[in-house]
């Protein structure tokens, strides 16, 4: 157990003040402008604030949380991943959106339309995640949270899948350059674990290497749904196969079938723990997309917030039982009230003990949106779990080979 942990909560725009002073959200809160998730950020931070989680005080009188005002990411920082061409276009508020060739080239169409203050959004969401990363690297906290981050589909050269800036990749690149915490003279290791319903295509691709015979500083593991036509299409989103020439034991994927429930997650969790144990990361970047929860419009999984195998159960294990510093990021989640419930609950998981799931939603401006339950819980629905025993055994078989290979590379070529 982590005791007397200190936490940083990093939010773009004016939310640092908003959360700490419990006043009305400023209208220019940039993260709430994200076209795919309008006002979601406002709901999340309103609920966290209304529940009083950030004012938790430990028995020694110290506050568990420190709310940080994020800085803007600089162009130079954004260039660590994105191309100059994409940034010069996306960050120029006077760009001409009439030019369909450029709009298409940079992915700023369809599910990623340009929007008012998009340039500020890119600077501040990346800046918020990097502010959280900075707090971890300087050692002033054990866990840092940025629910507005977790944009795992943004590509080097273009926006994609509701994601305009690749804060996950930028965070990993920055953590790779941190002073190692646990073992001196060892390069820091970063594990990226993605719990979003969708495959972390851009992050996985960014750190994928076909030269799998040497140890890597970064391991990515995405647990997601994939099927024909389901976004995103990627050759990396299937079960890892060591016989495939492009196999990389540090780029891992664990696809689950429709209806994935707490029971299925509890079943696969030893695989996740096993990978972590072999890789032994100094830093864990956890993408907590909540579009796999029951009640999400994606209607693909049937995951819930509490109980063995739930999202809350997984995050509690990672935060309190895994060694290393943790960065918690947001991601997908298209039932905004449920996203707010989930991220508020996970914020309380970070300080522990977590809020009871039957906690009433406090009276605040967004209160009516939490009907009909008006409680914190996101319970499972009645969708059938199609992850059969046969399929889960197949997953285990694949991962036994992956773990053996990872173990061998780790022992042969320590960093
Ligand atoms: Zn998603």
| Phi, psi values for residue 334, rounded to 5° | -115, 0
How far, in Å, from the CA of 331 to the mean position of ligand 1? 6
Q: Which structural domain, as residue segments, surrounds residue 382?
A: 7-412
Residue spans of beta strands (DSSP E) within 275-345: 283-287, 325-329
CA dist., res. 158 & res. 278, Å (int): 34
- What's the pLDDT tens digit per position in 95-126? 766 678 888 899 999 999 999 899 999 999 99
Inform me whether the pLDDT recorded for 263 exceeds 70: yes
Inform me whether the pLDDT recorded for 48 exceeds 60: yes
DSSP 93: T
What is the pLDDT, as a whole number, of residue 15?
Answer: 29
CA dist., res. 194 & res. 292, Å (int): 12
Q: Which runs of consecutive H residues, i.e. helices, occur in 153-294? A: 167-176, 201-206, 262-279
DSSP 285: E
Which two structure tokens, joined as six digits, stand for 175? 């953590």
What is the pLDDT, as a whole number, of residue 183?
Answer: 67
How far, in Å, from the CA of 197 to the mean position of ligand 1? 5
Inform me whether the pLDDT recorded for 26 exceeds 60: no
How far, in Å, from the CA of 17 to the mean position of ligand 1? 29
Number of other CB atoms surrounding residue 243 within 10 Å: 6
Inform me whether the pLDDT recorded for 30 exceeds 90: no
Report residue 13's pLDDT band, with 50, 70 and 90 as the boundaries. very low
Inform me whether the pLDDT recorded for 374 exceeds 90: yes
Inform me whether the pLDDT recorded for 16 exceeds 70: no
What is the pLDDT, as a whole number, of residue 212?
Answer: 63
Q: Is residue 404 part of a domain?
A: yes
Mean of pLDDT values over 317-333: 97
Helix (H) or strand (E) holding 398: helix 389-412
CA dist., res. 170 & res. 78, Å (int): 7
What is the pLDDT, as a whole number, of residue 72?
Answer: 95
Mean pLDDT of the chain: 90
Inform me whether the pLDDT recorded for 93 exceeds 90: no
Inform me whether the pLDDT recorded for 28 exceeds 50: no
> How far, CA to CA in Å, does 213 sit from each of 44, 79, 138, 178, 407?
43, 29, 32, 24, 12
Q: Is residue 273 part of a domain?
A: yes
Q: Is residue 166 part of a domain?
A: yes
Count of alpha carbons within 13 angstroms of residue 412, beta-carbon side: 11
Number of other CB atoms surrounding residue 350 within 10 Å: 25
How far, in Å, from the CA of 340 to the mean position of ligand 1? 15
Inform me whether the pLDDT recorded for 383 exceeds 50: yes
Q: Is residue 345 part of a domain?
A: yes
Inform me whether the pLDDT recorded for 152 exceeds 90: yes
Is 153 annotated in the active site?
A: yes
The answer to whether the beta carbons of residues 202 and 159 sit under 8 Å apart is no
Report residue 17's pLDDT band, with 50, 70 and 90 as the boundaries. very low
Residue carrying the six token digits 């990978």: 275
Which two structure tokens, joined as six digits, stand for 325? 């510093």
- What's the pLDDT tens digit per position in 50-65? 999 988 887 788 778 8
What is the pLDDT, as a whole number, of residue 7?
Answer: 53
How far, in Å, from the CA of 264 to the mean position of ligand 1? 19
- What's the pLDDT tens digit per position in 180-227? 666 667 899 999 999 999 999 999 999 999 866 778 999 999 999 999
What is the pLDDT, as a whole number, of residue 27?
Answer: 34
How far, in Å, from the CA of 218 to the mean position of ligand 1? 22
How far, in Å, from the CA of 111 to the mean position of ligand 1? 13
Report residue 179's pLDDT band, with 50, 70 and 90 as the boundaries. confident
What is the pLDDT, as a whole number, of residue 180?
Answer: 64
| Phi, psi values for residue 106, rounded to 5° | -100, 10
Which stretch of 44-48, 137-141, 268-272, 353-357 has the lowest confidence by average pLDDT? 137-141
DSSP string of 9-25?
Answer: EE-STTHHHHHHHT-PP
Burial of 341 (0-12, 13-18, 19+ CB in 10 A): buried
Roughly how many angstroms between the first and final C-alpha of the chain, as a whole number? 28
Mean of pLDDT values over 345-351: 94
Q: Is residue 2 part of a domain?
A: no
Q: Which residue has the higher pLDDT, 265 or 59?
A: 265
Domain count, the chain: 1
Classify strands 65-68 and 190-194 as parallel, antiparallel or unpaired.
unpaired
Percent of the chain with pLDDT over 70: 90
What is the pLDDT, as a whole number, of residue 312?
Answer: 98
Percent of the chain with pLDDT over 90: 78
Give the distance, in angstroms, between the CA of residue 251 and the centroid of all CA atoms in the same chain: 16
Q: Is residue 20 part of a domain?
A: yes
CATH number for the domain spanning 247: value is 3.40.800.20
Q: Is residue 352 part of a domain?
A: yes
How far, in Å, from the CA of 237 to the mean position of ligand 1? 13
pTM: 0.93
Q: Is residue 1 part of a domain?
A: no
CA dist., res. 64 & res. 391, Å (int): 42
Report residue 24's pLDDT band, with 50, 70 and 90 as the boundaries. very low
Inform me whether the pLDDT recorded for 20 exceeds 90: no
Given the residues 82, 153, 208, 398, select the one marked as catalytic.
153
């Amino acid at each position: 157990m982590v005791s007397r942990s200190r936490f940083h909560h990093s939010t773009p725009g004016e939310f640092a003040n908003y959360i700490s002073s419990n006043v009305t959200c400023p209208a220019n809160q940039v993260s709430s402008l994200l076209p795919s998730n309008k006002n979601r950020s406002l709901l999340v931070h309103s609920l966290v604030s209304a529940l009083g989680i950030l004012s938790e005080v430990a028995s020694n009188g110290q506050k568990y949380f420190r709310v940080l005002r994020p800085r803007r990411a600089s162009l130079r920082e954004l260039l660590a991943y994105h191309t100059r061409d994409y940034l010069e276009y996306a960050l120029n508020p006077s760009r001409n959106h009439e030019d369909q060739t450029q709009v298409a080239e940079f992915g700023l169409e369809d599910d990623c339309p340009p929007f008012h203050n998009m340039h500020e959004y890119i600077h501040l969401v990346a800046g918020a995640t990097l502010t959280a990363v900075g707090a971890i690297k300087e050692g002033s906290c054990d866990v840092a949270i940025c629910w507005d981050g977790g944009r795992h589909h943004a590509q080097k050269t273009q926006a994609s899948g509701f994601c305009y800036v690749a804060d996950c990749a930028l965070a990993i690149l920055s953590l790779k350059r941190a002073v190692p915490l646990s073992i001196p003279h060892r390069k820091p290791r970063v594990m990226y674990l993605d719990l979003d319903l969708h495959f972390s295509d851009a992050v996985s691709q960014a750190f994928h290497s076909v030269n799998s015979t040497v140890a890597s500083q970064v391991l990515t593991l995405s647990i997601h749904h994939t099927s024909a036509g389901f976004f995103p299409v990627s050759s990396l989103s299937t079960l890892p196969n060591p016989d495939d020439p492009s196999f990389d034991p540090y780029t891992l994927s664990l696809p689950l079938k429709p209806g994935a429930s707490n029971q299925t997650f509890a079943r696969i969790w030893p695989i996740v723990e096993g990978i972590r144990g072999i890789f032994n990361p100094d830093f864990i970047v956890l993408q907590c997309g909540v579009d796999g929860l029951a009640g999400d419009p994606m209607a693909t999984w049937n995951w819930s917030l509490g109980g063995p195998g739930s999202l809350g159960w997984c995050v509690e294990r990672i935060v309190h039982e895994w060694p290393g510093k943790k960065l918690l990021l947001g991601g997908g989640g298209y039932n905004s009230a449920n996203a707010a419930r989930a991220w508020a609950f996970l914020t309380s998981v970070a300080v522990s003990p977590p809020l009871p799931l039957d906690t009433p939603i406090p009276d605040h401006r967004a209160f009516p949106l939490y009907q009909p339950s008006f409680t914190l819980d996101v319970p499972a629905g009645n969708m059938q779990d199609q992850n059969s025993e046969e399929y889960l055994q197949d997953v285990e078989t694949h991962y036994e080979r992956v773990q053996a290979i990872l173990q061998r590379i780790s022992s042969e070529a320590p960093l």
